[in-house]
Structure 1
């Protein structure tokens, strides 16, 4: 990648402690603003569908509409920030977010809700960057990566879980409008903080080229198609919906054309050659793998409890524990955050994920949220242990090659998180649906009405229903339906256990691979190296 001139970073000037704390508080508020907004939608899709008069399947488009711009907008954000100035970037970004929050009150049907969610995802994309920058602004250079990185990432990650804690109370009071009011209040508060606490801007420099926009459109089409496929694939089923296949084909074609363009540019938007280097491929696979196995928390336990009839109100405590565990994971990194310790952090994270997933794989029909608090807290703690060290390693590798490479790494990091999250949820759901169908088939074969135990269970339930249903035939039909529903729920629990155990196996495999990698590096560092002077020819006989 050719090096274009970059603005010099302004010299660090220590801030008074109260002002420094204000910048850190602004980072927390802005980070929670965008995270909670995303969590409100993903948590309350069934309730939102009811408010809009739509089915849950139709309302799932809301998540796709929100995630697409979240995955694609970061491609331009860094260059926009460099060309138009950091302060202007921050002010315009937060004003747009406030305007979108106001737009949410004009939602009256599913179509307007999808449109509003698309603009909400577009407007919230800069907020992650702003939360990160506000956390780093008051910190001296030695503490930016050690303190600022884990804190900012932990705050950003905790938002969706925190939304599950507070949304039941809000939805119970005023439905979806309460969520809009909460989002509007956070946006207005963030707007005030951005104007009261301006960020220092380096000199502006023109960095956007016309071909950048062409590549961005192509990459956006590719990423958008992949996200829609991952969200809607398990719902409409992959092989039964023709348009899903065409959409995924279009996505691959658009990404292929974008790669061809970028490989032939002197100053590409994304340095494909560097991203295909062994070290970056290793980091990309690591980021994607962790994001996939961490989907166990977002797509696993909440959905299993939904199948078991657990309401959102009953999940408040477990997600409060998960939120606290995620923050504690970020805080625990601060005393030990060093580049050479990244493999050790990932080692501990994999151990925690493997242990937590194995504990979850022992679930039964009687499992309740309090019984999974420890395992889910371990997984949340592990997520924080992984994310900040991985980003630190990538940022250091990018900065060692030059400022232009930072954009390429940021794109890799954010795209693996956005697309990896959607792909992880989609694959997790697909696996569960397949295993549930297989388990249900086996259970139905065991629950034949000619089986004495099944007949006894039906008779027992029918007798219990006699007081409510005097008609014996109707009572027997209700008893059979109840047993069939229990079998379906049992099949789902067994399918979730299979998915948890698969997560355990993947984490254990990654743990073994990491141990071998650490062992290889240790042998390379301690193995005696021979020099040409040490090798003397044998004397001639």
Structure 2
């Protein structure tokens, strides 16, 4: 039995929080429900916009701070490092000190981070601030979800969960849409000031309309910090390797191997320490059960597949010379896709058919991959509208059912399993995205090198078509160059650039095709699981 730090309110059975640290399920007046929804949406967007602004403006930040590509890759990496580790201690902190205090302190920390952004003068300071930002942004995601859930009645409370988690994903496409207007106006001052204003507005809203008082229980132990000190740097090491490996190349940087060994060693030590605790933070024995392993595989590979959107479409278009302001239309479509997917998921909510949205999401990803399977150097952002809308719709569609599927299994075991599930869910989503981006980045670079070498070896300069192409390129320089030798050298250089570009195009097509294969396998795996589950119920 939990040790209560204050007397619980006199709730009805259907009002009592499912787990300590979450608000009760109360019915509110209509006006108050609208206010909760607006505040929750505002908080969810603010939390995800912080990371979205860095992702959308990474090349500009690289130039602003004078960073190399590998150095600039640390900016999003350290955010994920802190974000994935935050749930190790934040959930118990919320249970012990109460939801209201936790909410206000978290937002104050977020405001302080935004103020520090205005003082950033170099890359090192920016890294430190991004790390802190990843940590303080973690509680805002659940805070936005709790506010949105309060806007739904008791009967539809789980639909609020769907909407809350879906809205948490809207910040990144929204950041791509509004960043060109903010950054072009006054460099980075406007961008950081805008973020600071959002954080202050969130704090004012939360203070004005507080969440209902929840339970306070005594759960924090000294050994929890030991677990954090082992697992947090372990997760950070894995994030570092995944972000730097494709850039520095896996076999060219020895230090990556040592960091990887250190990361796995710390995680194993942390799990070993937890396994022998009398009251563990993470229930290690439960992680090895068949149902949890199936959940991990499904959750990881769904996020893995969705990473194709953030990698292939954006990087392919950048390779073709598309600038940030030309992405506004594409990310507006992605924003609408996530929004509609989230609303569709909530509208079709059914406890008895949680796997069908997951199956539909996988199918939509597969269709989108086939639409993108024939990329050429003439492709522009509008050519991606249909495929990226489908992927965005799948992104908004799957997250709620996936979370609820795992949570229902968890609560059958007991509320003390919830922390383990939250950490597990966060890890599958963060590492699924990181591993997906890292894998596709590595695969694309490898294939581009293979294709470029193949083109160079098979290119015959005496071929009439090749000769004519070089002659055309040479004609471009003739009005400006009088030396025919230099003219030919420039034409050959331009031909090499075209060869490199076309090898990149073919490599990105390979990325789309391998994503299609993984989508087919996951679709069949999910379909077989649904069929087996249906027949097992019939013959019980």
The TM-score bracket by the shorter chain reads: over 0.9
Are the equivalent residues in 1 in contact too, given 2:69–2:247 (CA < 8 A)?
no
Q: 2:28 aligns with which of 10, 15, 20?
A: 15
1:362 aligns with 2:374: yes
Q: 1:26 aligns with which of 39, 46, 56?
A: 39
Q: 1:111 aligns with which of 116, 124, 139?
A: 124
Runs of 4+ displaced beyond 6 Å: none
Are the equivalent residues in 1 in contact too, given 2:303–2:433 (CA < 8 A)?
yes
Q: 1:142 aligns with which of 155, 171, 182?
A: 155
Partner in structure 2 of residue 309 of structure 1: 321
Q: How does 1:238-253 map to 2 (within 5 A)?
A: 238-253=250-265
1:127 aligns with 2:140: yes
Q: How does 1:397-416 map to 2 (within 5 A)?
A: 397-416=409-428
Superimposed CA distance per residue, residues 278-300 of structure 1 (whole angstroms, 9 cap, x where no aligned partner):
11111111110111111100111
Partner in structure 2 of residue 390 of structure 1: 402
Q: CA deviation at 1:450?
A: 3.5
Superimposed CA distance per residue, residues 455-475 of structure 1 (whole angstroms, 9 cap, x where no aligned partner):
221111101321233332222
**CA distance in structure 2 between the aligned counterparts of 1:292 and 1:236, rounded to whole angstroms:** 22
Q: 1:35 aligns with which of 48, 69, 89?
A: 48
Are the equivalent residues in 2 in contact too, given 1:45–1:56 (CA < 8 A)?
no
Q: CA deviation at 1:138?
A: 3.3
Q: 1:438 aligns with which of 450, 461, 467?
A: 450
Q: 1:185 aligns with which of 186, 189, 197?
A: 197
**CA distance in structure 1 between the aligned counterparts of 2:82 and 2:527, rounded to whole angstroms:** 37
Superimposed CA distance per residue, residues 256-298 of structure 1 (whole angstroms, 9 cap, x where no aligned partner):
0111111111211011111221111111111101111111001
Partner in structure 2 of residue 517 of structure 1: 529
Partner in structure 2 of residue 100 of structure 1: 113
Q: How does 1:142-541 map to 2 (within 5 A)?
A: 142-145=155-158, 147-527=159-539
Paired residue total: 525
Q: How does 1:49-128 map to 2 (within 5 A)?
A: 49-128=62-141
Q: CA deviation at 1:520?
A: 2.1
Partner in structure 1 of residue 12 of structure 2: none
Partner in structure 2 of residue 536 of structure 1: none
Are the equivalent residues in 2 in contact too, given 1:51–1:176 (CA < 8 A)?
no
Superimposed CA distance per residue, residues 62-103 of structure 1 (whole angstroms, 9 cap, x where no aligned partner):
111211111000111110001111100000000010011000
Partner in structure 1 of residue 13 of structure 2: none
Q: CA deviation at 1:240?
A: 1.1
Q: CA deviation at 1:11?
A: 5.7
Are the equivalent residues in 1 in contact too, given 2:170–2:339 (CA < 8 A)?
yes
**CA distance in structure 2 between the aligned counterparts of 1:5 and 1:348, rounded to whole angstroms:** 44
**CA distance in structure 1 between the aligned counterparts of 2:53 and 2:484, rounded to whole angstroms:** 46
**CA distance in structure 2 between the aligned counterparts of 1:334 and 1:106, rounded to whole angstroms:** 42
Task: For residue 352 of structure 1, give the secondary structure of its aligned residue in structure 2.
Answer: helix
Unmatched 5+ stretches in structure 1: 530-541
Q: CA deviation at 1:418?
A: 1.4
Q: What do you get for the CA RMSD once the two structures are aligned? A: 1.5
**CA distance in structure 2 between the aligned counterparts of 1:448 and 1:106, rounded to whole angstroms:** 57
Q: CA deviation at 1:56?
A: 2.6
Superimposed CA distance per residue, residues 226-257 of structure 1 (whole angstroms, 9 cap, x where no aligned partner):
11111111111111111111111001000101
Q: CA deviation at 1:453?
A: 2.2
TM-score normalised by structure 1 residue count? 0.94
**CA distance in structure 2 between the aligned counterparts of 1:414 and 1:13, rounded to whole angstroms:** 27
Task: For residue 206 of structure 1, give the secondary structure of its aligned residue in structure 2.
Answer: coil
Superimposed CA distance per residue, residues 494-541 of structure 1 (whole angstroms, 9 cap, x where no aligned partner):
1111011111111011111222222222333345x7xxxxxxxxxxxx
**CA distance in structure 1 between the aligned counterparts of 2:35 and 2:458, rounded to whole angstroms:** 64
**CA distance in structure 2 between the aligned counterparts of 1:12 and 1:91, rounded to whole angstroms:** 21
Residues 319-328 or 456-465, more deviating:
456-465
Q: CA deviation at 1:12?
A: 4.0
Partner in structure 1 of residue 20 of structure 2: none
Residues 21-30 or 50-59, more deviating:
50-59
Superimposed CA distance per residue, residues 41-66 of structure 1 (whole angstroms, 9 cap, x where no aligned partner):
11211110111122232111111121
Q: CA deviation at 1:5?
A: 4.8
**CA distance in structure 2 between the aligned counterparts of 1:15 and 1:141, rounded to whole angstroms:** 10
